[in-house]
Amino acid sequence: MSIAIDKNVAVSMRDGTLLRADIYRPPGSGPHPVLLQRTPYNREFLPLVTMTLDPIRAASAGFTVVIQDVRARWASEGDVFTPYNNEAQDGLDTLDWLAEQSFCDGNIGAYGLSYMGGTTWLNAVSGHPALKAISPTTAPNDFWHDHFWRGGALHLSTLVSWALRVIGPAALLRRGLEPVELGTRLAELAEALDRFDETVSQRPLNKLGAARPEDEQFVPFVFEMMQHSTPDDWTASRLFSNRHDQVKVPALIIAGWHDLLLGADLSHYRGMIENGGSKSAREQTRLVVGPWSHAMFLNYVGQVDFGFRSSGYLLDIREDLTQLQLRWFNRWLRGMDEAFTDPPVRIFVQGKNRWRDETEWPPRRAETTPWYLHAGNRLGPEQPAVESSCNYVYDPEDPCPTLGGNLLMPPQYTPGPVAQTAILDRRDVVSFTSKTLGSDLEITGPVTVDLHASTSALDTDWVVKLCDVHPDGRTFNVCDGVLRASHQLREHNLSMTPGDTLCWHLDLWATSHVFAAGHQIRLLVTSSDFPRYDRNPNTGETGTEATASVPALQRIYLGPGTPSCVNLPVVPGK
């Protein structure tokens, strides 16, 4: 028997707005458990909405799958789209509607990637009794701390490219513009994206012409976000924001080491294990982390091939992401306990290129080990014996270009591990390199940096990359972090005068990576990563408001009294 697909099914929200969905129904008569995905990216665009879970296979396996356009997107009614503005309320109304349908057996699961993962977490906060489990993949948590900002810096390219490439065209199409005006506006978008570096280089950013500040029905959220350079009630209200104590159902969290939302996924797991709103939420939540970048589940990530086992389409030569999630939902929506007996944590160890099961995250056996920055651009586990320093000039008008990392940017910027050759000789990049390793060194867990440094500026940024130097000399980024000085000062209620030496704490998120024998460990220090992040103008103004900039003299201190170091979670060898 064939599955049935009901197209454009209208679901009424409490204010009368109609949101439309496609429903994939299993063969035979129901009722069946339901899987819900809510998307702003067009429920009919199958390459995206089926990326982690194929609705046709799910329906064939006995699940009814509902994929719904969120408010103000595609076939759903609504005025102007604002990210996450209505998702909690609309998600609850949709769950109420589903629970009353004859095709639903009273058991609902929610799933989705990226934005859809965000709507999944907001569904879980509702506490709806029919929702029994969730499976969010690379999903945001807090709007400010790990989504559109990081370490106080704005994810500039993520915001602008997402608004113009993904949200903008559909926003224009639903405006009912005359064909000539529509064509003109779409051409403007294309031009802005084709000249992307020029688009995001204009000042001030809060008057970004390509986003049409005067057009309140286009992508107004771009400018609204730029008004919140510090976390506040508005940013806290946008998303899930660590409300794990309100989640009573277990979560299967799928993440990637090179994903834009890795920090969010790891905070979700920690929040559920420590604060989940029920015993099953705390004890049954699971975490899977592959070597992937955002919305890319292939074995080739950036410029590195992690091997066939790493692919999300044949996980460890066992199953794909669809089958993994169907096993999960069979366990929680059908009571098939034997369907999912996986360990709490499954991670892909890069360098070794093998999957490994863990009982916890981060692994308790990993020993936090500082590797210190030394004079002569050396890096090693021994503490420096003499006072020394080095310096560089950061000029916002000639920023260090983006080269790999946890990116969600236009396709000309390659996410993941990328050879850093193009920036190694820049005057604003300082590198510290270890001796050649005589044996494998595995790091698995959070990576942080304590950087003792001063700046001549009123405010500035620090950017640090942990890298693996291969025997042929190629340097590949492993993980990185950014910190806006004013962000740390504000967080700790501190002040700074230009020239003051402070210890700056950078969060490089986490990784699982083996530095193989014959390789070297390298740390790169600079003050920009553009256009990934907005440029700090060094004037004390925000990057979005500044109309000019000044160069800054940055000095890094390396002595025993100022032990700048990278803290590595070293897993002892067997």
Q: Which residue type does 495 have?
A: S
Query: Is 79 annotated as catalytic?
Result: no
Angle (nearest 5°) at CA 210 between 146 and 546: 65
According to DSSP, the β-strands at 32-39 and 64-69 are parallel
Q: Which of 147, 294, 374, 513 is catalytic?
A: 294
Find the helix or strand (DSSP H, E) in which 89 lies: helix 87-99
Angle (nearest 5°) at CA 149 between 506 and 141: 95
- Omega before 362 cis (within 30°)? yes
* Measured CA distances, 294 to 104, 137, 261 (Å): 32, 10, 8
Q: Which of 31, 6, 26 is nearest to 101 (CA)?
A: 31
Write out 163-203 in H/E/C secondary structure: HHHHHHHHHHHCCCCCHHHHHHHHHHHHHHHHCHHHHHHCC
Contact residues for 390 (Cβ-Cβ < 8 A; gap 6+): 375, 377, 430, 555, 556, 558
Q: Which of 22, 90, 259, 428 is catalytic?
A: 259
- As a whole number of angstroms, the distance between CA 438 and CA 521 comes to 12
Q: What would the two tokens of residue 335 be?
A: 């009571």
Query: Is 114 annotated as catalytic?
Result: yes
Q: Which of 27, 151, 131 is nearest to 448 (CA)?
A: 151
The upper half-sphere exposure of residue 429, i.e. CA atoms within 13 Å in the direction of its Cβ, equals 23
Q: Which of 114, 161, 229, 293 is catalytic?
A: 114
- As a whole number of angstroms, the distance between CA 13 and CA 70 comes to 11
Q: What is the DSSP letter of 338?
A: G
Query: Is 126 annotated as catalytic?
Result: no
Q: What would the two tokens of residue 371 be?
A: 């590797």
Instruction: Supply the residues annotated as catalytic.
Output: 114, 259, 294
